[in-house]
Amino acid sequence: MESSTDITTLSEMITTTNGTSIPTSEDEFKFDDRAQRLVVAITFIIVSIIGTIGNTLVLIAVAISRKLRTITNVFVVNLAVADLLTSLSIPWNAVALISRNGWPLHPYICTLAGGIMYLCIVASLYSLASVAINRCILVTKTLHVYQKIFTKLNLVIWIILIWVVSFILVVFLPIVDVGGLGYNEKYSICGQSSSHPRDDIYQLVQAMGSFPIPLIIICYSYIKIFLHVRNHMRVMSTHMPGGDSSNQTDSTVAESVAQTANEGNLQNGKPQKYGHHSSTQQQQQQLETPQQGGVKGGTETTRDGNEMAPSLSDVNTSSENGGNSGSNAIGNTNGDANTNANNSKGSVIARDSSTKLRRGRSNSRRQLQITKNMFLVVCTFFLCIAPFTMCLFFDDSDPFVPYASAIVLCNACINPVIYATKHPVFKAVMKAMITCRFKDVPEPVRMVHRLTVNRANSQR
């Protein structure tokens, strides 16, 4: 009796090469329902088509518009490249799902497709973390610090590090025989090989290296941005007269990052400086006004000790003071001449200061809107990846894993939609491309400009 029991027990178990035992295929879950596999495969194909078209448009948009060649968009382009490669690798998973008898092509094709897909997903995570760091430094630090950190050389090194870390987590470990990539018989897709004896270690290292670190960076960065803007709103509100609270809020939010929310532009190899020390602002500082409530010399000072752009009321007060001093000198010929010159100079400076301030506020609002849009991209990504992450903590979640994987891959086609609907410059460029109205492209490159000029001349 004992021997027959042992034989029965052994027949229900399979012993692997390293001595560990696993359940037989009768007890192990396998995603073999034809209808469900077809649904997931169709989802993969749709995501692949939309993602390929959308991310290609994003890359072309940056290529043809100099206005999109900003520091933040370096990471956006890197994210688009990762999403494009993910979209191109997805169809091979559809082939694996549709096939009835396992992987029908050469095993290396499935290994390559699975490796690229996982590599690009990790690169996307670290690209989003890099965007969060970029926006945090842009909003909370001075322009000098921002431009010192995000030089062209540092950006190149940064992008390379993103891909090196992703390569180590996804490709290097299988090379040293910690886990494997290829056809996953359990879920019938190209990805991690579930038959490898060290697959559990590989999954653990990937999960710990690719998800928590970017998540912590992203949460910290956007929380810091929120706290910084809120604190500056409180400080600025103490210097603002009563009035419409909604208008005050918009103005305060814009002014709260007026010094630091000026994007460096990578044209001619140097960032453009919307400087804090421009000649116009130096002239503004000469319009001395009495110190009231933290305002000195027409320049508001934040809690960080950073100087903000002067308000319009300060500039007008300075001009009025100049006018009053001129009126007291009537009757003296030399005094009249000097007063007129001073009034004229003060008027020009006030006009230039007003224009500069309006531009600064407009640019600050644009930078805050871009920050909100990038935060939306981050939220979308984590909403897509959350179901798959939750599956890792539940042993009985195997039937839902293929659907969770499809949701993760949907993120590859969502980002271009966000850019096209929320980002004003991306929206304008993509609309111009889709409608073939390249003359509407903001700040087009020379080739596009020549194309539009030649087309206009041919139509005459």
Average pLDDT over residues 209-227: 89
Single-letter amino acid code for the residue at 222: Y
Residue 264: name the closest of 155, 128, 127, 151 by CA: 151
**Residues 387, 404 contacting (CB under 8 angstroms):** yes
Neighbours of 92 (CB within 10 A): 22
Least confident interval from 86-100, 186-200, 312-326: 312-326
Residue 324's Cβ-side half-sphere holds a number of Cα atoms within 13 Å equal to: 6
Rounded average pLDDT over 9-28: 42
CB 132 within 8 A of CB 217: yes
Amino acid at 211: F
Reference 263, options 389, 401, 85, 423; nearest CA is 423
Mean pLDDT of the chain: 74
Residue with the larger pLDDT of the pair 417 and 362: 417
The pLDDT of residue 350? 59
pLDDT tens per residue, range 263-274? 444 444 444 443
Give whole-number Cα distances, 130 to 149, 154, 249, 282, in Å: 12, 12, 29, 34
Tell me, what's the pLDDT at 235? 82
Residue 347, number of CB atoms within 10 A of its CB: 13
Task: Compute the Cα dihedral for 49, 116, 120, 61 and give only its sign.
Answer: negative
Which residue has tokens 């531009």? 359
**Confidence at residue 345, expressed as pLDDT on a 0 to 100 scale:** 58
Q: What is the DSSP code (8-state) at residue 438?
A: G
pLDDT of residue 341: 54
In which band, very low, low, confident or very high, does the pLDDT at 44 lie, cut at 50, 70 and 90? very high
Q: Which domains, ranges and CATH numbers included, belong to the chain?
A: 29-226+364-458 (1.20.1070.10)
Structural contact between residues 191 and 181, judged by C-beta atoms closer than 8 angstroms = yes
Is residue 180 very low, low, confident or very high in pLDDT (cuts 50, 70, 90)?
confident
Spatial separation of the C-alpha atoms in residues 185 and 436, rounded to whole Å: 46
Report the distance separating Cα 143 and Cα 62, nearest Å.
23
Residue range 53-79: mean pLDDT, rounded: 93
**Local confidence band at 67 (pLDDT 50, 70, 90 cut-offs):** very high
Closest CA to 309 of 273, 345, 285, 343: 285
DSSP symbols for 118-136:
HHHHHHHHHHHHHHHHHHH
Q: What is the mean pLDDT of residues 324-346?
A: 50
Q: What pLDDT is attached to residue 9?
A: 41
Alpha-carbon distance of 209 to 86, in angstroms, equals 19
| 145: pLDDT strictly greater than 90 | yes
Is the pLDDT at 310 greater than 80? The verdict is no
**Pairing of β 181-184 and β 21-23:** unpaired
Q: 343 falls in which pLDDT band (50, 70, 90)?
A: low
Query: Which helix (H) or strand (E) covers residue 191, if one does?
Result: strand 189-192
**Opening angle at CA 100, ends 95 and 101, nearest 5:** 100
User: For 188, which DSSP code?
Assistant: T
